[in-house]
Amino acid sequence: MAFFEQARVVVRGGGDLASGAIFRLIKAGFPVIVLELDAPLLVRRTVCFGDAVYSGTRTVEGVTSRLVSDPEVAYALSARGEIPVLIDPQGLALVALRPMVVIDARMEKRNLGTTISDAPLVVAFGPGFTAGVDCHAVIETNRGHNLGRALYSGSAEPDTGEPGSVLNKTHSRVLRAPVDGHVEPRFAIGDVIEARQVIATVDGQPITAAFTGMLRGLMHERVQVRAGMKVGDLDPRVEREHCFTLSDKSLAVGGGTLEAVLASSAVRAALR
């Protein structure tokens, strides 16, 4: 059961980093509702609560999300400690849900319309937002000294476009669509793939492993991808557990998000 039922949180986006924040908030006792696209752009789907759009439910480290179609059902389900996921890219359900907190975790690196008046507390992830202007707090998502820091003025660091290094693998571990189309997988997340094996195809064009590793993420077949888009992640560490547990980065971002929520005077007043 949600402990802080009077401080409902709506998270726009149920991807990898969003799921770290959702997990932290649920564990702390906050009821959380997720708003997603009808075909979410999720790579690490096994640890994304937004994957309920595809699978109906998604359980990550003992916490379950569930696809629902009605805000009233979502409201009731969130009070029981589960995470309802509504397909609502425009955020139309915000009026009915009346959240205490809105978190824009869509990681679009630009503001898609979030305003500081959307809720008593508005938090946003990464670049594209300015704390005190279009939100109350920005969470730093760039790896480095400030990862996960809650910023109450100014903006997050600009996007570098550089993947994080894993065992000295950077761009080679990122799987990209060779052409426009839909991903057709040949392996499942958690499978070990040998160098030069074809991991998946897009419109018949292969995506080939640059090294031996474990498939850590792959976009769902329903997503219309564009040439050059990141569609998967090959992990050289070959640790199967990493495919099904939240990452250090997402938990760091989740910690900063929980800080921003608990530090808010509006939330504290509601919890008295």
Q: Domain spans of the chain?
A: 9-159+248-271, 171-236
Q: Flag whether pLDDT at 107 surpasses 90.
A: yes
Q: How many CB atoms are closer than 10 A to CB 242?
A: 18
Closest alpha carbon to 164 in 183, 178, 143: 143
Task: Work out the average pLDDT over 72-94.
Answer: 94
Give residue 270's pLDDT band: very low, low, confident or very high (50, 70, 90).
confident
* Residue % of the chain over a pLDDT of 90: 91
- Locate 182 and state its tokens: 């839909």
- Locate 64 and state its tokens: 């379950």
pLDDT score of 168? 87
Task: Work out the average pLDDT over 250-272.
Answer: 95
The DSSP symbol for 241 reads G
Same fold, 9-159+248-271 and 171-236: no
Q: How far apart are alpha carbons 227 and 203 in whole angstroms?
A: 11
Residue with tokens 């474990």: 214
The DSSP symbol for 254 reads H
Task: Work out the average pLDDT over 116-136.
Answer: 97
pLDDT score of 182? 98
Q: How far apart are alpha carbons 1 and 168 in whole angstroms?
A: 43
Architecture of domain 9-159+248-271: 3-Layer(aba) Sandwich (3.40)
pLDDT score of 164? 83
The DSSP symbol for 111 reads -
Read off the pLDDT of residues 136-169 as tens digits, 9 standing for 90 and up. Answer: 999 999 999 999 999 999 999 998 888 888 888 9
pLDDT score of 1? 65
Task: Work out the average pLDDT over 4-23.
Answer: 96
pTM of the model: 0.95
1 by DSSP, 3-state: which?
coil
Read off the pLDDT of residues 179-210 as tens digits, 9 standing for 90 and up. Answer: 999 999 999 999 999 999 999 999 999 999 99
Q: Which fold has domain 171-236?
A: OB fold (Dihydrolipoamide Acetyltransferase, E2P) (2.40.50)
CB 15 within 8 A of CB 107: yes
CB 32 within 8 A of CB 68: no
Q: How far apart are alpha carbons 68 and 88 in whole angstroms?
A: 11
